Amino acid sequence: MNRTEPLVLGIESSCDETGVGIVRGETLLTNTVSSSMEEHVRFGGVIPEIASRAHLEAFIPTLQAALDEAGVTLADLDAIAVTSGPGLSGALMVGVAAAKALAVATGKPLYAINHLVAHVGVGVLDGGALPENLGALLVSGGHTEILRVRSLASDVELLGSTIDDAAGEAYDKVARILGLGYPGGPVIDKLAREGNPTAIRFPRGLTQPKYMGTAQEPGPHRYDWSFSGLKTAVARCVEQYEAAGEPLPVADIAASFQEAVVDVITAKAVLACTEHGITHLLLGGGVAANSRLRALAEERCAAAGIKLRVPPISLCTDNGAMIAALGAQVVMAGVQPSDLGFAPDPSQPVSQISL
């Protein structure tokens, strides 16, 4: 197997995107994605059973399109990589079963890859090797985490995460409260530009200082987030306007909600970075497309002397290229392939980079 510039096919099926990407070393050859988002719109969120069935239908056409675009065959591959977790159990099973079938049929080694760490690994496809003293802020519909990355292939540490809703999930729920439809992120981001972000002071969860014993011992949740209280505050705000018979200032509510989200996300990310000597921060995940999050992250990182790196939006959302990219890094690091008996892990921790 070529461990210098391996040709790796990556398969992603953790949620509602069926992604197949192919990389050669740190060079992207193709990033082919089929999304079932339209099938979930009328439900206001991803329905796991529908997502799983959509993966089944989309996998073969997406795989063929990726191979054609990259101009390679399955026989050319050095390895196959697949998302083993975290994610929706049924959706993960489809991708893992497909990857195992390909591995058995071709005799190629298979690597079970962590979805969250892959969001960091995709950075090598846009700018080459990742710097030292690296942190990663991952913000999506299912995850909100701050990570410390000492080694992409062997050493990733979780510093903080959401203890309830993910940021993207909060956007979807608030959009539903405001009657804006699904998905909520893009529509709230667009509407917020017309509103006043200081019109309503919504709560910033888990921001009050907590100490264990002495001031020198910070309490739990220092780098964690909570968005459930914010979502409830928006609902109460809407109820008050409706009870008073007043017009709902939707743009102001959207702007104030968004400001509360991005304020606490960026503040805690920068705090974690400064307290852990992290000098470079990679922003990834679907919510990285949010214009206000990108702007405030850039502003606060610059003020703290942290260099911010944001991959192209097409590489921030779930995709097979990120799985292939991390798979290639793992191969180049000399990690052994996964045993074909592995099972998908919907709660796979970031410290488990590959199974």
Task: Please give the distance of CA 12 from its chain centroid, rounded to a whole number.
Answer: 12
Annotated ligand binding at 141? The verdict is yes
Annotated ligand binding at 345? The verdict is no
Long-range pairs of 243-248 with CB within 8 A, sequence gap ≥ 24: 248/178
Closest CA to 122 of 338, 317, 349: 317
Give Dmax over CA atoms of the chain in angstroms: 69
Annotated ligand binding at 189? The verdict is yes
CB 353 within 8 A of CB 160: no
DSSP-assigned letter for residue 60 = H
Annotated ligand binding at 68? The verdict is no
Closest CA to 345 of 153, 88, 49, 144: 88
Closest CA to 167 of 236, 88, 257, 65: 257
Q: Which residues pair with 148 in a beta bridge?
A: 135, 157
Closest CA to 324 of 110, 85, 11, 70: 11
**R_g over Cα of the chain:** 21
Annotated ligand binding at 172? The verdict is yes
**Other beta carbons within 10 Å of 339:** 9
Annotated ligand binding at 88? The verdict is no
Annotated ligand binding at 290? The verdict is yes
- In sequence order, the 6+-apart residues with CB closer than 8 A to the CB of 52 are 88, 90, 91, 93, 94
Place of tokens 């959401």: 162
The secondary element (H helix, E strand) that includes residue 17 is strand 17-24
Annotated ligand binding at 165? The verdict is no
Annotated ligand binding at 126? The verdict is no
Place of tokens 């909600």: 257
Annotated ligand binding at 138? The verdict is yes
**What does the alpha-carbon distance between residue 153 and residue 205 come to, in Å, rounded to a whole number?**
33
Binding-site positions: 115, 119, 138-142, 172, 185, 189, 290, 318
Binding-site positions for substrate: 138-142, 172, 185, 189, 290
Binding-site positions for Fe cation: 115, 119, 318
